[in-house]
Homo-oligomer: A and B are copies of this chain.
Amino acid sequence: VTWFACAFLALFGLGVFNLSARAAELPELTPAFLSNNLFIFICAVLVIFMNAGFAMVEAGLCRQKNAVNILTKNLIVFGLAVSSYWLVGYSLMYGDPIIPGWLFLKGLFFDPAVTPEMVTDAALVPSVDFLFQAAFAGTSATIVSGLVAERIKFAPFVLFSIIKCGIIYPIGAAWIWNGGGWLKSIGFMDFAGSTVVHGMGAWGGLVGAIILGPRLGKFISGKPQALPGHNLAIATLGALILWIGWYGFNPGSNLAMDQNVPYIAVTTTLAASAGGIAAAITSQLTSGKPDISMVINGILAGLVSITAGCDGFGMVAAWVIGFLGGVLVVFSVKWLDALNIDDPVGAWSVHGTCGIWGTLAVGLFNLEHGLFTGHGLAQLGIQLVGVIAIAIEAIITGIIVWNILGAFFDGIRVTEPEEYEGLDIGEHGMEAYPEFVQARR
């Protein structure tokens, strides 16, 4: 309580003096200013809506006994992401160079001041850019959630998310999305974040999943066992919400309303469509039946695959890239199983495998730089550098942070009896559906 009181007083002090937040007198608003800011506002809302999608997909594809835990994680993660990204993340991502190319900073707390110049040259006001970027930061933490589901303690997950969104993600993202970033300067292309957001989250989560080890009963004598999701209705809903949310994620990354926005929306749609179709066909061919969890992951795979280059692919290429993403995701699930790494909802396969694929696809299919469009191998090499650089950052920081948290909390994994009974009882003292009789644990 004392700690709270002190923190409050400090924040109150800052709040009281944080007066000059907005410029009073602005020139007339130009049409481009109005439509750009309205557009990014809407896109930010759509990306924030993705939290609902991730929550439903992850909860639905896990078991009932861990549903409250997963839902709570997803509810709180976005609040933590916004808070830490506001405190320091935005500054790390869009600040002034400290180590040119590699590290940036511009003080604590995001500064929302609007200047008259911003209005006349049709740019975005800082608030809307912050909101859009904070929503992206939240996504990279949500992906982690899926990989460590059903066995991680609540407190270390919460702390990892704060560090991920506030420090790890913005430092890496600055390499490409800060104008002075070294990956940008070598020509790395990741339009909406196949690597910067999805890969970033997937690598951090993969490290967590390996450190945690598989869930009880997932691998018996090394053979993967089916632990089916408890509510495929909400998982389906989640996938369709994510599909919608991606119309903020990809077109919004254009950061301006122009004729490219609908084009990006179309390549995104084609890739999602093809990914779902591909996963349905692939699961039919490999397991004899169209598996709904594969269709869900196929749609998401298509979306992740198109994210890096959605602005610069031809339409047929977009469809093919999504289709291959949908095929890849099915096999990636099998590869991970073969390695005895437990990824409960397929988050690695969707965001990691297809994040890599989508980033490399820019080097193959981009209309102005791709190998298959007659522009040689150079871009493909640069894409590979970017993939590896972000992977290294996410893996190293992941190893460090997970291990520090493990030391602090006496391990990041719940006890065996708690895991057996379910994290809902152990971590939250409640059940998601207390009135429905459960068939099995």
Residues in A lying within 8 Å of B, measured CB to CB: 8, 11-12, 14-16, 18-19, 21-23, 26, 29-32, 34-35, 37-42, 44-46, 48-49, 51-52, 55-56, 59-60, 63-64, 67-68, 71-72, 74-76, 78-83, 86, 109-110, 112, 114, 118-119, 125, 127-128, 130-131, 134, 154, 228, 230-234, 236-237, 239-241, 243-244, 247, 251, 257-263, 265-266, 269-270, 272-277, 280, 287-293, 295-296, 299, 313-317, 319-320, 365, 367, 372-374, 427-440
When A112-B263, A128-B262, A232-B68 are in contact, do A314 and B18 touch as well, CB less than 8 Å?
A: yes
A322 CB to closest chain B CB (Å) equals 9
A31 to B431, CA, bound (A): 52
A20 CB to closest chain B CB (Å) equals 9
Number of this chain's copies in the assembly equals: 3
Q: Are A45 and B46 in contact (CB under 8 A)?
A: yes
A299 CB to closest chain B CB (Å) equals 7
A116 CB to closest chain B CB (Å) equals 10
Closest 4 CB pairs of A and B: A128-B262, A79-B273, A18-B314, A127-B262
List, in ascending order, chain B residues with CB within 8 A of A37's CB. 257, 259, 261-262
Residue of B nearest to A433 (CB): B231
Q: Are B434 and A436 in contact (CB under 8 A)?
A: no
A125 to B296, CA, bound (A): 30
Residue of A127, A262, A287, A316 with most chain B CB atoms under a 10 A cut-off: A262
Q: A39 contacts which of B38, B241, B428 (Cβ < 8 Å)?
A: B38
A100 to B83, CA, bound (A): 45
Q: Are A237 and B236 in contact (CB under 8 A)?
A: no
Q: Are A262 and B131 in contact (CB under 8 A)?
A: yes
A39 to B128, CA, bound (A): 14
Q: A82 contacts which of B39, B72, B269, B438 (Cβ < 8 Å)?
A: B269
A280 to B234, CA, bound (A): 24
List, in ascending order, chain B residues with CB within 8 A of A319's CB. 11, 83, 86
Q: Are A72 and B292 in contact (CB under 8 A)?
A: yes
Q: Are B232 and A49 in contact (CB under 8 A)?
A: no
Residue of B nearest to A239 (CB): B75
Q: Are A125 and B263 in contact (CB under 8 A)?
A: yes
Q: Are A30 and B31 in contact (CB under 8 A)?
A: yes
A97 CB to closest chain B CB (Å) equals 25
A111 CB to closest chain B CB (Å) equals 9
Q: Are B439 and A270 in contact (CB under 8 A)?
A: no
List, in ascending order, chain B residues with CB within 8 A of A44's CB. 265
When A82-B270, A244-B49 are in contact, do A38 and B41 touch as well, CB less than 8 Å?
A: no
Q: Are A429 and B269 in contact (CB under 8 A)?
A: no
Residue of B nearest to A434 (CB): B228
A299 to B51, CA, bound (A): 14
Q: A295 contacts which of B31, B76, B251 (Cβ < 8 Å)?
A: B76
List, in ascending order, chain B residues with CB within 8 A of A72's CB. 280, 290, 292, 295
Q: Are B258 and A79 in contact (CB under 8 A)?
A: no
A280 to B427, CA, bound (A): 12
Residue of A40, A59, A433 with most chain B CB atoms under a 10 A cut-off: A433
Q: Are B430 and A291 in contact (CB under 8 A)?
A: yes
Q: Are B320 and A15 in contact (CB under 8 A)?
A: yes
A11 CB to closest chain B CB (Å) equals 5
Q: Are B79 and A240 in contact (CB under 8 A)?
A: no
Q: A56 contacts which of B22, B233, B291 (Cβ < 8 Å)?
A: B233
A369 to B296, CA, bound (A): 47
